[in-house]
Amino acid sequence: MDTDRIQPFLFDHLDIRGTLVSLDETWAGLTAGRDYPAEVAGVLGEMAAVTTLIAANLKQPGRMTFQLRGDGAIDLLVLDCDEQLRLRGMARWLPDRLAAAFGPEANLLGQGQLMLTLDAVDMRQPYQSMVPLEGDDIAAIFEHYLNRSEQLPTRLLLAANDQRAVGLLIQKMPDADRRDTDGWNRVQHLLATLSAPELLAHPPLALLRRLFPEEAVRVFTPRPVIHHCPDDPEKIHAMLRGLGRAECDAVLAEKGEIHVRDDICNRDYRFDAAAIDDIFAAPGQRMH
């Protein structure tokens, strides 16, 4: 199967574009060691897929981060992807609320906000936008977001299980009705026939052939997606220097060590007094 790929495509005679993503090893990396409940993993997988679909449009070196905060059982989702399609992310949930949650995904997310942060080399400062959660699931929330932000009619299908996360994005371009007055309706009708298990079951090109057998679909060169969350102790050292020696010494006096949790990469950093001395030493005097 052609997995861990972004596959762009175009309906040649309809002026409708699309992108399909399939995450397998990437999805395994995102969930490794996390012990997410199935309901949480499913929502995280859908958000991982749509984040990758949107980040594929980054033209300059940079990073796109989506943060979803709600008052439901899942109170935080963070997905982060750069222009090279290196993805990382995490979910946070409240066990008591999750045990009490029944029904559709809306009960898992509740009411809240979706925030986009875009940081690129050609920007003086990061761009941020925030919108309320509108929709009963991740697909509906992001459909609403894309319809409003890109002002193009958009359809989005997402699915995830314990092995894969898949997303299919279709957008109607401005000249679509002139090319074929029924094209957009026809494509939406075909999308409505696709179930989540079918979306997960087929590799990208086979799925396109099965779903649109009578349409002329042109596919473009796929791009690889990877899970990328390397160990970066210097980032933590810089954070501690920014905090200041006095504050670090105060924590050491109270706790005996400084513990820094990197939630998005599922990694812990611990520092004793000797390690803090080394971090604050002059560069030529550091042991590491």
Domain ranges of the chain: 5-227, 233-285
CB distance 61 to 78 below 8 Å: no
**Least confident among 51-60, 120-129, 138-147, 222-231:** 120-129
Give, in order, the Cα–Cα distances in Å from 132 to each of 51, 67, 129, 150: 17, 12, 10, 17
CATH superfamily of 5-227: Hsp33 domain (3.55.30.10)
| 197-225: burial string, b at 16+ Cβ within 10 Å, e else | eebbebebbebbeebbeebebeeeebbeb
Q: What is the mean pLDDT of the chain?
A: 91
**Least confident among 33-42, 105-114, 198-207:** 105-114
- Backbone φ and ψ of 140, nearest 5°: -65, -40
> What percent of the chain has a predicted confidence (pLDDT) above 90?
75
> What percent of the chain has a predicted confidence (pLDDT) above 70?
95
pTM of this structure: 0.89
Question: For residue 81, what pLDDT is reported?
Answer: 97
Confidence category of residue 124, pLDDT binned at 50, 70, 90: confident
Question: For residue 110, what pLDDT is reported?
Answer: 86
pLDDT at 205 over 80: yes
Average pLDDT over every residue of 45-50: 97
CATH of 233-285, one of 3.40.50.261, 3.40.50.2300, 3.90.1280.10, 3.30.300.130: 3.90.1280.10
> Residue 151 and residue 244: Cα distance in Å, rounded?
46
Residue 239 neighbours by CB distance under 10 Å: 11
Cα 196 to the center of its chain, rounded Å:
19
Confidence category of residue 135, pLDDT binned at 50, 70, 90: confident
Question: For residue 286, what pLDDT is reported?
Answer: 54
pLDDT at 3 over 90: no
Confidence category of residue 104, pLDDT binned at 50, 70, 90: very low
- Backbone φ and ψ of 226, nearest 5°: -135, 155
Model confidence over 215-254: pLDDT tens digits?
999 999 999 999 999 888 888 999 999 999 999 999 999 9
Question: For residue 285, what pLDDT is reported?
Answer: 58
Residue 28 neighbours by CB distance under 10 Å: 15
Report the SS3 class of residue 98: helix
Question: For residue 284, what pLDDT is reported?
Answer: 55
Both structure tokens of 246: 């006095």
Residue 29 or 105, more confident: 29
Average pLDDT over every residue of 156-185: 94
